Amino acid sequence: MTVTTNDFSPAALPLAEKLLEPALEIIARYPVGRSRSALLPLLHLVQTEEGHVSPQGVAFCAEVLGINKAQVGAVATFYTMYKRRSTGDYLVSVCTNTLCNMLGGQEVYDQLSEHLGVGHDETTADGRITLEHAECLAACDYAPVVTVNYDFTLDEATPESTIGMVDKLRNGEAVTPARGARVCTLKEMQFQLAGFADDRDGAVADGVAGAPTLRGVRLAQEHGIAVADFNPDTPITTTKNPKDESAKAVKDPSPATQAARPHESKLASVAKKAVGAVKDAAGAVTHRDRTKDPETRAAELRNPDASTPAKNPAATGTPGGVGDAAGDAKPAGDSPRPAAANDGEEKK
C-alpha cells in the first residue's frame, strides 16, 4: 500500500508534508512486518524539524508506523536523546561523573552555568545553547570532557576553555573539536542520527585522533611489536559449538591434564561438590509436597515429629503472643482471639 499525506490526521499532517519521503526511506531499511523497529531513527528525524519530539511528532511517528501514540510516547520519554521541549542550536554536555568530576568537571559545569545564566536542560534566551550535565560521556582518558551535539569537542576541559568555546558558538564562529566531526547544529546532528549522511563540505574532516587514543599504536611502533601474519581482512571466526570435541576436552580434562594441574583439579572438585549440593537442595524443594499450604509446611519444619507442642498464645493464655513465634507461621499476635464468655451479652 502506498502511503500519502492524505493518510495523516490534521495533527500529523504538517510533519508528513515535510518528512514523509525520508521517513519511508527509513522504514524501507527494515524487513516487512518489522517496521516498528524504525521508531528510533524516526524520532531523530522528527527532531530535525522541531528540535524536540512534540505531540505532532508523536502523532506522525505513530501514524506512519501504524502503532498508537502511547507506544511512541513510551519510547520518546525513555531515552534522554529525545527532547521533550525545544532545545537550542547547540546542546552542550559537561560530564560530571566520577572521574570527570574529580578532575574538575563539576567546576566546569558550575562556572558555565553561571556564565550562561541557565541550569541543567535549560536554554539561553537567544536559543543558541542548551546546557546539560551528563552522567558519562565514555571518554574517561580525556577527562573532564565536554561534547557539543554529542560530538567530542573539548578534552581535558577547563572553565576558561569551555566558556570560550561556548561564546564562539553563540557568535557564529567556527569551533574546531578536539576529536570527531565538525561541530554542527543539533538539527543537523539529528539528521545524521536518523541514518543519513552529512553532506556538508568537510563535515568529517576537522577532528583529529587524540594522543590517548593512539597510545597503544605508538608504543607498538616504537618497540616493533606486530601480530604475526596479521591480516585485517581476515573474517572473525564464530564461537565453536560446545558439543564438539575441543569444547568437551575443556569441560572434561584428561587425567594427565589434571595431574599436571593439581591445584586447578582440587578447585574443580570443590566446585563440583558445591554444584551437587545445590542440585540436591533444589531437588528437595522441587519434590516437596505442594498440596500443603505454606503455614502447614512451616509448622512441620519447626516440629517434624510433633514431639514438642508448638507454642500457641490461645492455648497458653499468653496475651497477644508477644515474644513467642505464632504456631501457625503467622506473625506473633495474629492467632484468632478466643471467644469471650460474655461476647453474646456484649452484642446484646
Where do the domains of the chain lie? 5-76, 90-193
CA 150/CA 95 separation, integer angstroms? 12
The CATH number of 5-76 is 1.10.10
In 3D space, the residue among 180, 182, 165, 174 whose CA is nearest the CA of residue 210 turns out to be 180
Tell me which residue has cell 505531540: 55
pLDDT at 221: 87
Contact by Cβ (8 Å): 183, 151: yes
Neighbours of 193 (CB within 10 A): 17
| Residue spans of the chain under pLDDT 70 | 1, 202, 205-209, 239-268, 270-271, 275, 278-279, 281-348
Tell me which residue has cell 522504514: 27
In 3D space, the residue among 336, 296, 297 whose CA is nearest the CA of residue 313 turns out to be 336
The CATH architecture to which 90-193 belongs is 3-Layer(aba) Sandwich (3.40)
pLDDT at 270: 64
pLDDT at 328: 43
Strands 146-148 vs 122-123: parallel, antiparallel or unpaired: unpaired
pLDDT at 302: 65
Q: For the chain, where are the E strands, in sequence order?
A: 90-95, 122-123, 129-134, 146-148, 151-154
Cis amide leading into 144 (omega within 30): yes
Q: Per-residue pLDDT tens for 271-325?
A: 677 767 766 766 655 555 555 556 666 666 666 665 555 554 444 444 444 444 4
Neighbours of 73 (CB within 10 A): 16
